Amino acid sequence: MLGIEWLKPGVIVGSLLFALMGVAIFWICFVVVDKLTPYHLWTEIVEKKNVALAIVVGSMAIAIGLIVSAAVHG
């Protein structure tokens, strides 16, 4: 049976801290990837409508998210 241990303030604060840390790491990784590419990703995807690049960047974002979540989760 599920108790109410998950309602303790320490658990909630810890969960929020890990979530914020995961989002920050994801954002930093994405900015690094954006800087490593030879063109500006936003301009290429939004203004020039490069669908192939959008698919690659989306896949990369999913992969970075999976890696960060596995690292944070342990």
pLDDT, tens digit, for every residue of 7-17?
788 888 988 89
Res. 69 pLDDT band, cuts 50 70 90: confident
Say if residue 28's pLDDT is above 70. yes
Question: What is the pLDDT averaged over residues 5-30?
Answer: 86
User: Residue 1: pLDDT above 70?
Assistant: no
The rounded percent of the chain whose pLDDT value lies above 70 is 93
Angle ∠(63,67,73) on CA atoms, nearest 5:
140
Quote the pTM value: 0.72
Q: Which of 35, 57, 33, 36 is nearest to 45 (CA)?
A: 57
- The residue to which tokens 């944070």 are assigned: 72
